[in-house]
A and B are shown apart, each in its own frame.
Chain A
């Protein structure tokens, strides 16, 4: 366990140059983002008001100084206040990130579980009618935009002329019942939307693994195909599956699912990020970029340490 923690820590330290690079690239991109001074100064503002707003926002400072200030904010993890609402950025993130996670995690888990189960079936009966049906369903799912899936789910489960089981939109996490009512349709949409991509990925992973010599050996010893898949192949695929899952988590927290949050009226981080990007709210953007870079660095480190723990051969390479 101590080795595992040390490995994660080392990887995290190694990620520092990456974080610095991400901060520089994102800062340059943010410098090209919409100039908020015109909007904040108001529609009828003249030259004086706009110039005053630019000074207040620090746009008149040279870029290098603004970048150093950004690095200072990262070091302190204090990004000040959102330009739009005036709310503290850390408060905003603390309020919205858990909402995004609570709204998207069930759909994420369900989508992967469904995809894994379907991929097992497709791999077990590869190149049969069942496999073709599942592959066709996955292709159809991948061709459909998530917007269509969301609107269809709302029409089926929530609309007054549909099943009318759940609210069309809104968010209530104050009780288990409220949460389940509000998360049910977003979960369904996310699971359906995500399962198609994951099914293709897992199926191809399994089919490749089924070609491995140890599988042929197990089959030669008379082990049933289903048993080989579950007892031999699946454990060997865990590092790849875990890596895919871990890599998805930062996106889940940081960007949530913008479409899901917008269409279902969920006050999460995805929507906040989108509005900050289109509106040029740099303090929020800086915080989100930093948070996502940190989460990715942590995820990379965890995935690496996990893979090495699961497969000792990696240490020898």
Chain B
């Protein structure tokens, strides 16, 4: 009874307090941006951020020393956690990088008192070194292996983090020095990779393998929850206060008209309190959810839906019922889709015997001529892909717009085969390796149709289907696939990232799954890799591109275009390239 009276008294007091005096002001509603992705990252550990989904979230939770300007294309580097672009020695071998002051990791139990400590140059050193430690399962060693003084020896000697290699040291709490074995201008790009995001050593050691679901970063957001359906990010209140300088980010009033970005100029990002990222692989569910006002506000549209949603492709226009509610943006992907030959294959590869190689080259070139890129583009990429010759994709500064796109030449292909004595009887059997699924089966059928047109017997073209993409990838990297189609995302927006796909020493299991070996190409690659961007380097890359085309190393190529759609009222320019992912911090919701 006494308890009940006491409760009543408290209630009355509460009511009185509520009626009289000034009530505390209601908290403003949270600004929430609801994003969706068509796949989910397996881990949030930046050392494993190798997919576009993982890159997006890693760059939102963590900081990298460098980043890319939000709106500038081709991509342009800018300082991020670093105070400025690096000081580089005259011989191009010593890089000195100063970190911004006062940057802190998010609060976490791993730190003394639970309060995030300052980010230091030692953290940056550790974050690179962990890729070389067997326990961390890092995926970024390729970016620095054989480049940094003493790094490979350090790994062989047991990878002791307390004794960093000579070429990778923190001079003080805010200064990092990298000594290279030879000039490597691409180094700064590698420091913008999500793989190079800066992590605190004590958190990695404390959480061990679970660091992948327990991120502790210094990025614009911190993680509230993560599972196979959704990630919830909250604004990192401790994130450094840097106003958005639209002009410096590459804003173009014509190109970026209608996005509403002007209103954000000078404001401090991030502009939203929460980011909800739904992982929705099913296009139908994504589209239904996107069409509701209260659910996801962004989707990437699959090509199968282009006809239903678009009124025109060039210039891009939505159907009126969608144009009222949504904003559309077509963005060229920093990647290349190509059908590759395994050049170690006994039927179509390079053997070293000039006469045999000439005949095999004729085979490959006939396949290249038979390939109908516009038909491929229309059928599988909604007609929005961009077909180009060689491997220098249109999103690269080295792309040569004067080089004509490949055109189908059935007569030429037939004549080439005949000239080299190939007949229906002597043409070799082709095995087209594909991942399982109807999409890839359709791609194979289309390719077979192209080849039948030039006289290849249908019975000699067959698909070898692998149950999963992982199995398919393993087959190509173990040199077991003869002919295969793949899309390669360029990890960094640099021509070397495209050309490494054909660099001899990187043959399978490395990225050169074509197993192309050409001494001149390799020599040019090595020379270009040491040059800073400029006319000389561009000329070298274009020469390499010509070699690829002349040798018919593959059916090259197409750059995919992603069609981004988002609700009006959301101000942003999304990007799903592996080179980006920094844009979430600039999303604003009206």
Inter-subunit contact B500/A44 (CB<8 Å): yes
| Choice from A34, A85, A161 contacting B470 with Cβ under 8 Å | A34
Inter-subunit contact B230/A170 (CB<8 Å): yes
Q: Does B575 touch A at the CB level, under 8 Å? A: no
| Choice from B44, B212, B228, B289 contacting A271 with Cβ under 8 Å | B228
Q: Does B266 touch A at the CB level, under 8 Å? A: no
Q: Does B12 touch A at the CB level, under 8 Å? A: no
Residues in B whose Cβ lies below 8 Å from that of A35: 470-471, 474
Q: Does B50 touch A at the CB level, under 8 Å? A: yes
Residues in A whose Cβ lies below 8 Å from that of B506: 44, 46
Q: Does B254 touch A at the CB level, under 8 Å? A: no
Binary CB contact string for chain B from 269 to 310 against chain A (1 if under 8 A, 0 otherwise): 000000000111110110011011111000000000000000
| Choice from B213, B281, B288 contacting A262 with Cβ under 8 Å | B281
Binding-face segment, B133-141, B412-420, B531-539, B545-553: B133-141
Inter-subunit contact B137/A53 (CB<8 Å): yes
Residues in B whose Cβ lies below 8 Å from that of A56: 134-135, 137
| Choice from B48, B228, B284, B491 contacting A44 with Cβ under 8 Å | B491
- Please, how many angstroms separate the alpha-carbon atoms of A205 and B141 in the complex? 63
Inter-subunit contact B280/A169 (CB<8 Å): yes
B155 → A minimal CB distance (Å): 9
Q: Does B251 touch A at the CB level, under 8 Å? A: no
Inter-subunit contact B510/A44 (CB<8 Å): yes
- Please, how many angstroms separate the alpha-carbon atoms of A95 and B208 in the complex? 20
- Please, how many angstroms separate the alpha-carbon atoms of A158 and B488 in the complex? 37
Q: Does A247 touch B at the CB level, under 8 Å? A: no
B32 → A minimal CB distance (Å): 13
Binding-face segment, A23-31, A129-137, A272-280: A272-280
- Please, how many angstroms separate the alpha-carbon atoms of A170 and B44 in the complex? 21
Q: Does B211 touch A at the CB level, under 8 Å? A: yes
Q: Does B265 touch A at the CB level, under 8 Å? A: no
Q: Does B205 touch A at the CB level, under 8 Å? A: no
| Choice from A86, A151, A155, A170 contacting B278 with Cβ under 8 Å | A170
Binary CB contact string for chain A from 42 to 78 against chain B (1 if under 8 A, 0 otherwise): 1111110110110110000000000000000000000
Q: Which of A41, A171, A261 has the most CB of B within 10 A?
A: A41
Closest to A41 in B: B139
- Please, how many angstroms separate the alpha-carbon atoms of A263 and B510 in the complex? 36
Closest to B325 in A: A160
Q: How many residues of A contact B (CB 8 A)?
A: 53
Q: Does A288 touch B at the CB level, under 8 Å? A: no
Closest to A81 in B: B209
Residues in A whose Cβ lies below 8 Å from that of B228: 96, 267, 271-272, 275
Q: Does A297 touch B at the CB level, under 8 Å? A: no
Inter-subunit contact A46/B142 (CB<8 Å): yes
Closest to B42 in A: A84
Binary CB contact string for chain B from 183 to 211 against chain A (1 if under 8 A, 0 otherwise): 00000000000000000000000001111
Q: Does A159 touch B at the CB level, under 8 Å? A: yes
Q: How many residues of B contact A (CB 8 A)?
A: 54
Evaluate whether A49 and B141 lie within 8 angstroms (CB atoms) in the complex, with A43-B50, A169-B280 already known: yes
B467 → A minimal CB distance (Å): 8
Inter-subunit contact A155/B288 (CB<8 Å): yes
Binary CB contact string for chain B from 496 to 522 against chain A (1 if under 8 A, 0 otherwise): 000010000010011100000000000
Inter-subunit contact A86/B45 (CB<8 Å): yes
Q: Does A311 touch B at the CB level, under 8 Å? A: no
8 Å CB interface, B33-47 against A = 42-45
Inter-subunit contact B288/A159 (CB<8 Å): yes
Q: Does B473 touch A at the CB level, under 8 Å? A: yes
Binary CB contact string for chain B from 211 to 232 against chain A (1 if under 8 A, 0 otherwise): 1110000000000000111100
Residues in B whose Cβ lies below 8 Å from that of A223: none
Residues in B whose Cβ lies below 8 Å from that of A272: 228
Inter-subunit contact B288/A87 (CB<8 Å): no
Q: Does A168 touch B at the CB level, under 8 Å? A: yes
Inter-subunit contact A45/B510 (CB<8 Å): yes
| Choice from B42, B48, B477, B488 contacting A38 with Cβ under 8 Å | B477
Q: Does A296 touch B at the CB level, under 8 Å? A: no
- Please, how many angstroms separate the alpha-carbon atoms of A23 and B468 in the complex? 24
A–B Cβ pairs within 8 angstroms, 28 of them? A34-B470, A34-B471, A35-B470, A35-B471, A35-B474, A38-B470, A38-B477, A42-B139, A44-B491, A46-B145, A85-B212, A86-B45, A86-B212, A87-B209, A87-B210, A87-B212, A155-B288, A159-B291, A164-B292, A168-B288, A169-B278, A169-B280, A262-B281, A263-B282, A263-B285, A265-B280, A278-B468, A279-B470
